[in-house]
Structures are given as C-alpha cells and as structure tokens.
Amino acid sequence: MNRRAFVNTTAAAGIVTQVPLLAKSEKSGKKYRTALIGSGWWGMNILREAMASGTIQVVALNDVSDDALEVAAEEVQDLSGAQPKTYKDYRELLEKEKPEIVIISTPDHWHALQTIAAVQAEAHVFVEKPTGHTIQESRAMLNAATRAGKTVQVGLHRRIGPHHVSGMEFLRSGKVGKVGMVRMFVAGRGGKEQPRANEEPPKGMDWDMYCGPAPLRPFNSRIHPGGFRHFLDFANGILGDWGVHWLDQVLWWTEEKYPKRVYSTGGRPVRGTPVLNESEQTTDAPDTQVAVYEFESFTATWEHRRYAENPSEKHKIGCYFYGENGIFHMGWRDGWTYYPANSRDKVIHQDSQLQQPDGHNLKLLWQNFIDGIESGKETVCGLESSHRSSVLPMLGMMSLKLGRSIQWDGAAEKVLNDPAANKLLKRDYRGPWVYPEA
Amino acid sequence: MKFPLLSLRIPFLLLWFLSLNLPCLANDWPHWRGAQRNGISEEALPDKALKNIGGKVVWKAEIGTGFASCSVVGGHLFTTGHEGGHDTIFCIRTADGATVWKHSFPADLGDKFYEGGPGATPTIEGERVYLLSKWGDLFCFQALDGKVIWKKQLRDEDEVRVPTWGFNGSPTLVGDTIYLNVGSAGMALRKTDGKILWKSDRGDPGYSTPLPVDLASGPALLLSNGKAYLAVERETGKKLWSHRWITRYGVNAADPIVKENQVFISSGYNKGCALLKIGNGKVEPLWKNKNLRSQFNGSVLIDNFLYGIDGDSNEDAALKCVDWRTGEVRWSFDQCGFGSLLAIRDQLLVLDHKGSLWVAPASPEGFKPTSKGKILDGKCWTVPVFAHGKIYARNSGGTLVCVSW
C-alpha cells in the first residue's frame, strides 16, 4: 500500500483551478438544420447530444444500411417527434437537403471525401477522429474547410473533458518540473484469431458504398458492425483509434508542433498472420505496437497490446508524463493523478467527469462547436490542431509498414530523404472515387 | 402432476448411478430456461436458502470463456466454454464438479465488443445432448460418454448465414425434431441423424431460442430474426405471422413469453417491449413502450406480472416489475445492475452482474430481498439454473460454481 496519503478531488480543487463552465454562446436560439452521415452507434451518440442541446433540427440521416437508417430514424422520431428523411448516398443528401451542419461518423477512410463535400456544400462539420486515413487526405480536409470558411469540430473530446482541462493546467503549472518523457498506452484482451467465414452483405446494405474509396473486399461480420478499426483498408488500428486521443493530449501540452523522427515496430504475434481470401478473413491491424515520437525537447512513446490487458498496472490506459519532480498520469475514467518523486509529498488526484454510459465529453464538445459557428472563433478541436494530432498515428503506421524510422519535416509535411515513405502519404483510391487534392 | 413423478424418484435415483439414460424428471433443468421453457422452476427452494442465499459454494469448475448457461439432468450437468481457439462441451458430475467427459473443437472466440465464447446452452433429451456452436457446428453426443453420434456444419447449407455474434439460441427438442434459430425463420432437423426436415430463407436469425407453443392454429414455433419476432408452423416451417421489430445490430435476443393468445417481446439497445395479440394469422400490439428493454436475458411471468432486467450491459440497468396487462412499471430496483434472474416457484432469484445472488418473493408490491450472498467474481451476465436443490452459476471467464445449503 502506498504510504502517501491520497488527496481527494476536493483537496485537489484547492490546488488546481476549477474547471470553468463553458461560457454559453450568445444564444441565437437558432436550430441548425442538421444531417448525420454514418448513423451507427457512435453517430447516434453525437446526434443525441446535439438534439439534447436544443441547437438542432434533424433533417436527414445517411447510412449505407437500410437497417441502420430505420433504427436511427425511429430513435430521432421518438426523441423529437419529427421523422427525418433517410438517404443511402451522402451526395444525394447534401444536394437535396442543404444542411447547415453535417455530423460525420463513418469509418476513417470516408472522412476526407465526406468532410470536403460537406464544407463545399456550405455546411459546418462535426467529424469523428482521426481526421483522415492517409496524411494528404487530412491536409486536403483542412485546406477545403479553410477555403470554404466553415467551422469544423473533430471528435477529440478529451481536449474539453473537465479532468483533461484541469490536468493540463496542473502540468503547465510547473509542479511536475521539466518533462523529458511521455508514455502513452492501452491494452485489451484477446488471443489467437481464427478466420471467420465471409458472408454476402446483409440485405439492404450497400457494401460497395461502405468500402467506397478503399479496396472492395468480401463482407464479413468482423468488419461491420463496429469492427472496421482493425482493418487497415478502413482505419489505422488501435494507434489510429485510441492513440490519436493521447497523442492529441501530448500536442496540446507541448509547444512543439510535430516530432522530428518517428519509429514504430510491432505485428500480430498473438492473433496470427492476417487471412483474406474468397471464403474467410481475419482482422489485419497489429495486436502489438510500439511507436517512438522524438521531439526536440522530449520523447513520447506509444504502446498497445490486444491481449493480457493491464492487470499489473494501477492505471490501465492513458499517458504518463515523467517530470523531474514526479509522474503525472492522465487517464480516462480514473481521472488524473500526480505521483511526486519525493515520498514526503502527497499524491494529488482529480476524478473524471464523463457522460455515461460511454464515458465521453460530447455535450461540452458540441456546445463549443455551436459557439465556434456563432462567434467565428476556432473551436477547441478545430481542424488545424486535429490534423496535426491525426497525422501522428499515420506516421507511426507508415514506419511500421516500412520497417524503418522516418524523419518528418512537419512544416512541409514530407518525409526527408525517403521517396518510398512519401508514397505512403497518400494511397490509390478505388474508382470512381478520386483522391482529394490538397 | 408432480406427485406421481416424485413417487418414482427412488428407483430412478438408483438408476442415476448406472447411466444417464433417463426420462426427464420434475427437478431437472434439461435445457435453456428450464423444463417449462419459462425460466421458472417448479421445485421448492430450500427454507435455508431464504435466509442464506449465498449458501455454500460446494465446488468450482473452470469451463472457459463464454455465456452459455447449464442444463442439468439427474446427477449430471452440461455446459460449454472457450479456451485457446477451441470450444469445449463439458459433462460434469453435480455431486463434486468432476468432469465426466468433454469434447473440444476449433472455434473462433468471437469477442466482438465483449469477451466472446459460446452463448447457446446444450440441450439434453433422452440419452443425448445437442449442441449448436456460434459458427454453425451442430453436434449430437451420447450423454453417457460424449461419443459423437452425428455432427454437421450448418454453414454448408445455402440458406444459412451466420449473424454478427454467431448463433446463440439453444437447440429446442420436441418429439423427434430439433428446432434451431438458424436462417430467417428457423430450421428443423431429424434428431436421429440431423437430416434437415425444413429450412427457411437465407437471412439473419435473432439470438433467441425457438419456443414451441400451441397456438389456436396448431403447433407453432416462436422465433426472432434480425428484424422481427415471428411464428411458424412446427411441422412445415410455414410462416404464420411476423411482427416487424428492428433493433440496432439486429439483436432480438430475449425469448418471447406467451400467455394464451398474447406474446410479450422485448429487446435492448433502447428498443423496448410490446405485448402482441395473436389471432387468425394476424398480430396486433396491445401496448408498446420502453419500460422493460431486455438486451438478452428474458423475463419471467408470474401471475400477471413480468419480472426482468431493463437496460443494456453498458448502462444503469434495473430490475423491474411490469404489469402484463398494461405495460406499466410496478416497481424498479437498481441495485442488481445488469443481472439476470429465474424464479423458483414464487421466489425470484437474481444474480447481479458482480456475482451476488439475491432472493425475494415475486410480488408486484416491491422487491424485498430476504437474503443476499456473493457466489462469484468477475462479470456475471449468464442466468443461473436451479436443479435438485442446487444452484449452478458461471461468470464470463468460465468459473462455474455449485451452490448448496
């Protein structure tokens, strides 16, 4: 047992500035005509918060699956009394409904085309993290939104969560001392993966549209619903999912804008070699990955495992900031905790304040989005910063694929002296989809 | 009806030691949701249990990851779990938890959004055990020694599509026929050799267990699929009626509950529940609301009141009592979390998601537990069973306990 007393939230509040309640926007009272692209579990989480805020009217829903559309439309009707229109093609939705806000909650490989189409259709956009699937998609999103003059909020809700805000203030207060190293981590359970039989897509699902610009592969229930993150055609594995949240915290904390060198290693020692053939498939994202981000003034590491979980660790997920004076842990449901190196000093802790059941801060993030639209000010998770955070997992995946470290020129967004690496800044799209030009 | 059977128990007790070749007895729990397929045991709960529900964990066994429940006939229990790329069915001696036989076969863990492992419970009939795996392996074992009498892979049939979380409804045996919730409206096979008697169109089944009922139109089977609750003729598989009931991810998992010409259906994911009136091939809802949303474990009906868990595993679920006639909530009790329950005559036995058992009389006036006791650690989503005076319960990690007094 730790000899040091544990200081609870109330005591910590004396040390840490109280989290300010977000200033309410000049309430326009306006109800924005809003559409949802990608009407699954997470998209509906966002839409529910948006509806609860009283700032929107849901005009339309889009999904490639009839079933998802029907379930989502029924819920919108239950909540609002109004029946939204439903579309299976987001382009038709944008053209016919002319929404003022578009929420995008599709797999990563769709974010760029849909965000760009939405801002070009004069909509403000709330898009799920990470921004893109390859780096130049993300850059094209940023440029398109800037050109269109539209407000974009990216779903990196940990930038606005109360314990993240107070934790960041604590880190910046200097109490931790000079930080030389940050370690980000997440772990899950799992074992050897048996291939699962492919199936034809469920009735009423436009599987070709789901795959969209990515290669068309046989349908498999490992992919949908909810499994796309573990298929590298559609996303960037755990590093692109959880990693982007913690890397975003690191970029929020540091004054540096990007790392100068990135190295990643890993693979699938436990789940096994990926399988993809006509009759069956497995996932293909790494079950083990370590990535090192070398900044000017500190080193940051990422590690994930999809087995063994983290029973030996007090904190199961998050990032440790190692400073001269002690270790600061930024967590999720476990809030933040500071462990001083000096055993006479007290441990300081603050609980999380999350929305249940899924432990997020979408309510605050949505309010900030509306404030951004109405004030013209940059949102907390605007595309500029979210692009920089989303690039980091993609750099990690590039290094993993190449099997060597890459030197990153963040200003030019190019890998130095490595033409093969620079080819991975974009990828070929499956026709008729065209890779967005920055 | 119980008394003549009880009087036969003594000679049968002798036979139990000799073989498993026995007709089902009143105190057996031969398949999912028990002998009456309603989650209610007709056996009496020992008086001691009313005061000390935790009882004594008399033995523990490790059966592997999963959510399948148990079937108990005589002195033997059958259940299944997953470990290291294989599913295993166990025959366990209820006296001491020793494994009598087991049979393993390769299977994917299927840990999508949860721990995974098998969800369907083995079904015992006569001297045979029937098992359906998540991925379509259907086995008929000799109960005595685990010899495989026949097996088949249902995915070989063109009409069969494995739903997102695999097959989780248990086999239902009626007469000489096995009924499965496979295909868009069920499947029937001959129990002696697995020959398919009828099958339905290709489509996602739901996750409920086929429920045999006698409707006014004749012998029927109630099923769920990815988009509806429905009834088919048992003999032919011909569709009698279907009530569209679309739920996120197509998860219609809780077994329907039937009383006369009324059917109660319920799903989680904030879908809700409804009471349907069946007549002349038509089905009409008498009421529909979100008062009792069953993600997968079904409720029990005692007199005119439903008792069940409302809400999903990832939210604040509650034990509720709902009036069958009106759909109104009589009471709600939030300390059991995402648990499960069965009834032993008029006593409710609730296993909460953290492994404590609660007992309370089933009453529309409120949940007034007379005792509570911890019997398991870890995640407990699987409904326990009660047979021959003992409770059997498991957690997701595969620890199975026998509780006695």
- The pLDDT tens digits of the residues spanning A352-411 come to 999 988 899 999 999 999 999 999 999 999 999 999 999 999 999 999 999 999 999 999
Give the model's confidence band at A438: pLDDT under 50 very low, under 70 low, under 90 confident, else very high: confident
Q: Do A194 and B250 touch (CB under 8 A)?
A: no
Q: Are A290 and A302 in contact (CB under 8 A)?
A: yes
Query: Angle at which helices A108-120 and A135-148 pack, to 10 degrees?
Result: 20
Q: What's residue B152's pLDDT? A: 97
Q: What's residue A257's pLDDT? A: 97
Give the model's confidence band at B15: pLDDT under 50 very low, under 70 low, under 90 confident, else very high: very low
**Minimal C-alpha gap between B23 and chain A (Å):** 39
The answer to whether residue A188 scores a pLDDT higher than 50 is: yes
Give the model's confidence band at B328: pLDDT under 50 very low, under 70 low, under 90 confident, else very high: very high
> Considering CB atoms only, which of B106, B163, B312 is closest to A194?
B106
Q: Are B28 and B125 in contact (CB under 8 A)?
A: no
Per-position DSSP letters for A189-248, written without gaps between them: ---PPPPEE--PPPTTB-HHHHHTTSPP----TTTTTTTGGGSTTT--HHIIIIIHHHHH
**A contact residues 228-257, partner B, Cβ 8 Å cutoff:** none
Task: Calculate the average pLDDT of chain A.
Answer: 93
H or E element in which residue A6 lies: strand A6-7
Q: What's residue A94's pLDDT? A: 98
| Partner B contacted by A204 (CB < 8 A) | no
Radius of gyration of chain A (CA): 22
Q: What's residue B25's pLDDT? A: 66
The answer to whether residue B168 scores a pLDDT higher than 70 is: yes
Token output for A403: 């099997």
Give the model's confidence band at A21: pLDDT under 50 very low, under 70 low, under 90 confident, else very high: very low
**Minimal C-alpha gap between A226 and chain B (Å):** 8
The answer to whether residue B119 scores a pLDDT higher than 50 is: yes
Q: Do B112 and A41 touch (CB under 8 A)?
A: no
CB atoms within 10 A of CB A42: 17
Q: What's residue A393's pLDDT? A: 98
| Partner B contacted by A203 (CB < 8 A) | yes
The answer to whether residue B219 scores a pLDDT higher than 70 is: yes
**Minimal C-alpha gap between A335 and chain B (Å):** 19
Distance (Å, whole) CA A352 – CA B264? 40
What are A213-219's contacts with CB under 8 Å, separation 24+?
A213/A109, A213/A110, A213/A113, A213/A429, A213/A430, A213/A433, A213/A435, A214/A109, A214/A430, A215/A430, A216/A430, A217/A276, A217/A281, A218/A278, A218/A281
CB neighbour class for B113 (10 Å; exposed up to 12, middle 13-18, buried from 19): middle
CB atoms within 10 A of CB B132: 28
**Minimal C-alpha gap between B164 and chain A (Å):** 5
Nearest Cα residue in chain A from B246: A71
The answer to whether residue B7 scores a pLDDT higher than 70 is: no
CB atoms within 10 A of CB A425: 20
Mean pLDDT value across residues A422-426: 98
Contacts of A39 in chain B (CB under 8 A): none
Give the model's confidence band at B161: pLDDT under 50 very low, under 70 low, under 90 confident, else very high: very high
CB atoms within 10 A of CB A81: 7
Contacts of A68 in chain B (CB under 8 A): 248
> Considering CB atoms only, which of B106, B112, B315 is closest to A227?
B112
Q: Has the ipTM of the complex gone over 0.85?
A: no
Mean pLDDT value across residues A226-255: 98
- pLDDT tens for residues B54-87? 778 999 999 999 999 999 999 999 999 999 899 9
| Partner B contacted by A77 (CB < 8 A) | no
Write down the residue that tokens 């026949």 correspond to.
B150
Mean pLDDT value across residues A88-94: 98
> Considering CB atoms only, which of B163, B314, B316 is closest to A358?
B314
| Partner B contacted by A221 (CB < 8 A) | yes
**Minimal C-alpha gap between B83 and chain A (Å):** 9
Q: What's residue B47's pLDDT? A: 85
Give the model's confidence band at B18: pLDDT under 50 very low, under 70 low, under 90 confident, else very high: very low
**Minimal C-alpha gap between B228 and chain A (Å):** 12
Please name the amino acid found at residue B76. Answer: H
Q: Do B109 and A226 touch (CB under 8 A)?
A: no
Phi then psi dihedrals of residue A190, to 5 deg: 160, 175
Please name the amino acid found at residue A10. Answer: T
Q: What's residue B288's pLDDT? A: 95
Give the model's confidence band at B17: pLDDT under 50 very low, under 70 low, under 90 confident, else very high: very low
Q: What's residue B3's pLDDT? A: 39
Question: How remote is the C-alpha of A323 from its chain's centroid?
Answer: 27
Distance (Å, whole) CA A90 – CA A115? 11
More confident of the two residues A3 and B197: B197
Write down the residue that tokens 């088919």 correspond to.
B232
| Partner B contacted by A26 (CB < 8 A) | no
β-strand B228-233 against B257-259: which pairing, if any? unpaired
CB atoms within 10 A of CB B54: 17
The answer to whether residue B19 scores a pLDDT higher than 90 is: no
Distance (Å, whole) CA A383 – CA A396? 20
Q: What's residue A218's pLDDT? A: 98
Interface residues on B facing A, Cβ-Cβ cutoff 8 A: 84-85, 106-113, 115, 135, 155, 161-164, 203-204, 226-227, 246-250, 269-270, 312, 314-316
β-strand A124-127 against A101-104: which pairing, if any? parallel
CB atoms within 10 A of CB A91: 13
Q: What is the pTM of this model?
A: 0.85
